[in-house]
Amino acid sequence: MLSGNFCKMSTQRLPLVALIGNPNTGKSTLFNALTGLRQRIGNYPGVTVAKKSGFLVLPGFGRIEIIDLPGMYSLSATSLDERIVLDALCGRLGGVPRPDAIVCVADASNLLRNLFLASQVAELGLPMMLVLNQADIASKHGMEMDTAKISARLGGIPVVAVSAWHGTGLPMLRTGMAELLQKQPCMERLAWHPCVHEALALLRDGLRRGGVAAPIPDVELQRLLFDSAGHLADGVRGHLNENVSLDALVRGARELVRHAGFNPLAAEPLLHYERMRRVLDGAVSVHPPMDTFSKWLDGILLNRVFGTAIFFVAMVIVFASVFHLASFPQGWMEGFFSLAKKHTGVWLKDWPVLQSLVGNGIIDGVGAFLGFLPQILILFFFIALLEGTGYMARAAFLMDKLFSWCGLNGKSFVPMLSGYACSVPSVLSTRTIEDPKARLATIFIIPFMSCSARLPVYSLMISAFLVPQIGSVGGTLVLVGMYFVGLFVALPLAWLLTRHVLKVGRQPFLLVLPRYQTPKARDVLWSIWQAGLEFVKRAGTIIFAITVIVWALLYFPHNEATTQRARSEFVAEQAALSGQTPAQVEAAIEASALGQEPGPLSVALEGRVEAAHIEDSYLGRFGRFVQPIFAPAGFDWKITVGILASFPAREVIVSTLSTTYSLGGDAGADSGTLHSAMSKSTWADGARAGRPIFTIPVVLGIMFFFALCSQCGATLSVIVREAGLRWAVASFLCMSFLAWLAAVFCFQIGSLFF
Amino acid sequence: MKMTLSKLGIGLDARVVRLEACGPLQQRLLALGLLPGMSVKLVRVAPLGDPIAIEFQNQCVALRKAEADSIEVELLEK
């Protein structure tokens, strides 16, 4: 039946081979070596596990597709990755056909554990071959492997020894794969004790009688029987009649196993391990001793003093690189984009709508997401390095205690730290956290870390308002304090989430500390390239769209009447100031606009007109409409519009404020004119009429607001990617509400003292 | 002498007695090859006191003390 299927499929699609194996066996290195760059990166439908597939040509067979499934130790699926593997192998994954054959990659220096998975997978009854990877390391330790003997004992499946790192043995592997697809040898299944067969038959009958129409393959029945918490049960339960209890059925089946003298929840690994021990007996000369180099290095890197010190140095290097190194390419890009803006501005000056759309919408939009690329590439370089060397697991080991109390784990540390540079790559990097609960909670709290885009806001507020009042030392202290605000809110929030909100099953924290390895440059570069490409493809469009939408809301309706009104107001004001007639002022403006570089008068007018248009724009109108919401925080409508306009990217607040305070959009955070314009501004009406807007409580409130608020379209779009729309919405609402609450709190309490 | 894995001193060898409760943690350890009767050694405690690192079957695995409490071992006399 299989070969019939296979012939039919081969006319429609390429034969599909699945690569499976334990983590850290060099499976991905092997995949890269086999496919070269003929890879396709995507996602499994509905989940965020990266799907890697590629193509290769087998000698004497032809072109095939190969899929690199996530690494796993056992088929008993608890984590998302493991479910994907099980579903893919059973052909239950949408968009991925059932593989035609399986290539199981095993680490030669820990064969027994690796063969356990192979033995489990053999129950699928699919054609299979075995690749003993890292054979060079094993033979260095004096281990000899008789691949022919192993092959014979496993039912004649192809068994080849390779070194993916050095690329040796690959021709043999390709030949073996061709043989695998042609002859379709299956690995011999475990000779189960009769009680297991009885238990499986009981389950099969019970399910059929319970209304499950489709026959369930043995491998899935085994998962129901042996796993204490499997995800299959949930799927099956949905198909059962209401009066049939799956739990009772499974309990009955387990009773049969128990009756024969086995612990049903431990029998499976015991039997598989026993079998594989027999398979390896005499086929492998010596079991290599535990890698002494790794042991020695662990003695240093996990040492109480040195290990902790080295860890912090490593993290400082990672953080400083993401924070500072990225600023160079970002600076070049900014230069390039402002140049592009200037030139297109000149070309399009006769079509003001188009000019603004291209300059402030499209170019800013492209810049908005490309600006994140350097940080993403740099962070992923370090992540690939940390993972590839095996240090990531050690870092998690060192840091776990700090985070375990609030439901996170040691692997949350690197994403959280890099969150201080930028949330976008950090959210993407949470894929290294296996526990789904800890991963979701980490994604949720990363945006609270004070990213580099908050710095311009802090520095504007502190230098303009706090330093004059509390001195530069006090200002610095406040700045340092701002970096902790997010963390102090985030950790209790994580505790709350993992304890009371998240309904995702908790996974035990079990961390295999792999052998230290030298990562291959090709693998590192390839993973950086993939991270960058995926970000641009998936998040880029959303960030671009948000930027253009907010541009439109800030630009339209752009009435001519507004321009005229702002102009006549400006002229009248200038006339009153200088004692000239309005006509004289008009003439002076004309003269000022004529020169090579526009004079101060025409620049001031331009700023005034721009501010009037912002005030009249849809976003401006909306800002004034919702200003009452921000009134308890002491924010006026200009701050409110600034906040609304900076939802796509928080650093925009500085330029929006400088525009609304009529200075033109180019004033920077350190601009003295913006400082004085803001400190001079007073309430026009209401209870506080005539009093300054930017008092200490308001300034602190703004800073707290920006520390906590979810003002980053890019982050939200990667949260959509990594956790789903629901989580992005929850994150947005939660952060914005907390930000508002903090600002109100600041203003209300602060106003009692100032 | 019987005790739980988390109470084992650093550097001491022990033998896994049995896995009474077989929850997800035990099943994962079983999959890694920590079978009853197998010898296991506590090699290291993290600088902050938790988790611990154990060695069995040529590999090093870290787990939290609270979870290691559910694994009963028997100290091996040297």
| pLDDT at residue B20, rounded to an integer | 63
In whole angstroms, give the CA distance from residue A404 to residue A26.
30
| pLDDT at residue A469, rounded to an integer | 82
Contact A441, A507 (CB under 8 A): no
Q: What is the ipTM of this complex?
A: 0.95
Q: Does B32 touch chain A (CB under 8 A)?
A: yes
| pLDDT at residue A8, rounded to an integer | 43
In whole angstroms, give the CA distance from residue A10 to residue A184.
14
Distant-in-sequence, close-in-space partners of A224: CB < 8 Å, separation ≥ 6: A203, A230, A232, A233, A236, A246, A250, A253
Report the Cα A39 to chain-centroid distance in Å. Answer: 21
Reported as a single tens digit per residue, the pLDDT across A97-145 is 899 999 999 998 889 999 999 999 999 999 999 999 988 888 887 888 8
The tokens of A31 are what?
């995949």
Please give, one letter per residue, the 3-state secondary structure of A298-359: HHHHCCCCHHHHHHHHHHHHHHHHHHHHCHHHHHHHHHHHHHHHHHHHHHCCCCHHHHHHHH
* Interface contacts A/B by beta carbons within 8 Å: 131
Contacts 24+ apart (CB under 8 A), A299-307: A301/A391, A301/A394, A302/A394, A302/A397, A302/A398, A302/B44, A302/B46, A302/B47, A302/B53, A303/B47, A304/B47, A307/A394, A307/A398, A307/B47
In whole angstroms, give the CA distance from residue A280 to residue A454.
59
| pLDDT at residue A668, rounded to an integer | 47
| pLDDT at residue A693, rounded to an integer | 81
| pLDDT at residue A5, rounded to an integer | 44
Q: Which of A109, A290, A401 comes nearest B50 by C-beta? A: A401
In whole angstroms, give the CA distance from residue A291 to residue A109.
9
For chain A, domain boundaries: 2-183, 194-261, 559-614
Contact A23, A514 (CB under 8 A): yes
All structural domains of chain B, each given as residue ranges with its CATH number in brackets, are: 2-75 (2.30.30.90)
Q: Does B10 touch chain A (CB under 8 A)?
A: no
Q: What angle do CA A87, A89, A95 make, to 5 degrees?
A: 65
Other CB atoms within 10 A of residue A526 CB: 20
Chain A residues with CB-CB distance to B50 below 8 A: 400-401, 404
Chain B residues with CB-CB distance to A116 below 8 A: 31, 33
DSSP type of residue A187: P
Per DSSP, what are the bridge partners of residue A67?
A18, A53
Q: Does A109 touch chain B (CB under 8 A)?
A: yes
End-to-end, the C-alpha distance of chain B in Å comes to 13
Distant-in-sequence, close-in-space partners of A1: CB < 8 Å, separation ≥ 6: none
CB contact under 8 A, B61 and A510: yes
CB contact under 8 A, B32 and A512: yes
Identify the residue among A137, A302, A402, A516 best suited for mutation to test binding to B, counting B beta carbons within 10 A and taking the highest.
A302
A393-to-A192, A398, A567 alpha-carbon distances in Å:
36, 9, 64
CB contact under 8 A, A113 and B48: no
Other CB atoms within 10 A of residue A487 CB: 15
Min Cα–Cα distance to chain A from B59, Å? 7
CB contact under 8 A, A110 and B46: no
CB contact under 8 A, B67 and A265: no
Q: Which of B19, B59, B64 comes nearest A110 by C-beta? A: B59
Chain A residues with CB-CB distance to B53 below 8 A: 298, 302, 397, 513
Q: Which residue has the tokens 């209300």?
A: A748
Residues in chain A predicted with pLDDT less than 50, given as ranges, are 1-10, 664-669
Average pLDDT score over residue span B63-72: 87
Chain B residues with CB-CB distance to A298 below 8 A: 43-44, 53, 60
Distant-in-sequence, close-in-space partners of A123: CB < 8 Å, separation ≥ 6: A189, A190, A218, A219, A222
Whether the link from the prior residue into A15 is cis, omega within 30° of 0, is no
Among candidate residues A631, A647, A633, the one with its CA nearest the CA of residue A733 = A647
Q: Which of A73, A227, A400 comes nearest B32 by C-beta? A: A73
Q: Does B33 touch chain A (CB under 8 A)?
A: yes
Q: Which of A76, A110, A270 comes nearest B58 by C-beta? A: A110
Min Cα–Cα distance to chain A from B31, Å? 6
Average pLDDT score over residue span B47-71: 89
Other CB atoms within 10 A of residue A281 CB: 10
In whole angstroms, give the CA distance from residue A102 to residue A615.
64
CB contact under 8 A, B64 and A404: yes
In whole angstroms, give the CA distance from residue A307 to residue A395.
9
Q: Which of A287, A303, A511 comes nearest B61 by C-beta? A: A511
Q: What does the longest C-alpha to C-alpha distance in chain B come to?
A: 32
CB contact under 8 A, A273 and B36: no
Please give, one letter per residue, the 3-state secondary structure of A613-637: HHHHCHHHHHHHHHHHHHHHHCCCH
Other CB atoms within 10 A of residue A679 CB: 15
Sheet strands side by side (includes A62-68): A39-43, A50-58, A62-68, A16-21, A101-107, A128-133, A159-161
Chain B residues with CB-CB distance to A393 below 8 A: 62
Chain B residues with CB-CB distance to A398 below 8 A: 46-48
Q: What angle do CA A459, A464, A469 make, to 5 degrees?
A: 110
Chain B residues with CB-CB distance to A294 below 8 A: 60
Q: Which of A265, A401, A512 comes nearest B61 by C-beta? A: A512
Q: Does A397 touch chain B (CB under 8 A)?
A: yes
Q: Domain spanning A2-183: which superfamily?
A: P-loop containing nucleotide triphosphate hydrolases (3.40.50.300)
Chain B residues with CB-CB distance to A397 below 8 A: 46, 51, 53, 62
In whole angstroms, give the CA distance from residue A346 to residue A71.
55
Give exposure, A366-400, as e/b (b: 16+ Cβ within 10 Å).
bbbbbbbbbbbbbbbbbbbbbbbbbbbbbbbbbbb
pLDDT at B32 over 50: yes
In whole angstroms, give the CA distance from residue A184 to residue A181.
5
Reported as a single tens digit per residue, the pLDDT across A589-629 is 777 777 667 777 777 777 778 888 888 889 888 888 988 99
Distant-in-sequence, close-in-space partners of A686: CB < 8 Å, separation ≥ 6: none
Q: Which of B33, B48, B62 comes nearest A513 by C-beta? A: B62
Break chain A down into helix, strand, coil percent, rounded to 5: 65, 10, 25
Per DSSP, what are the bridge partners of residue A131?
A105, A160
Identify the residue among B13, B29, B48, B52 best suited for mutation to test binding to A, counting A beta carbons within 10 A and taking the highest.
B48
In whole angstroms, give the CA distance from residue A596 to residue A560.
26
Q: Give the HSE-up count for residue A174: Cα atoms under 13 Å, Cβ half-sphere.
A: 18
| pLDDT at residue A601, rounded to an integer | 75
Among candidate residues A112, A148, A149, A707, the one with its CA nearest the CA of residue A449 = A707
CA dihedral angle for residue A171, residue A173, residue A179, residue A184, rounded to 10 degrees: -160
Strands, E, within A134-222: which ranges? 159-161
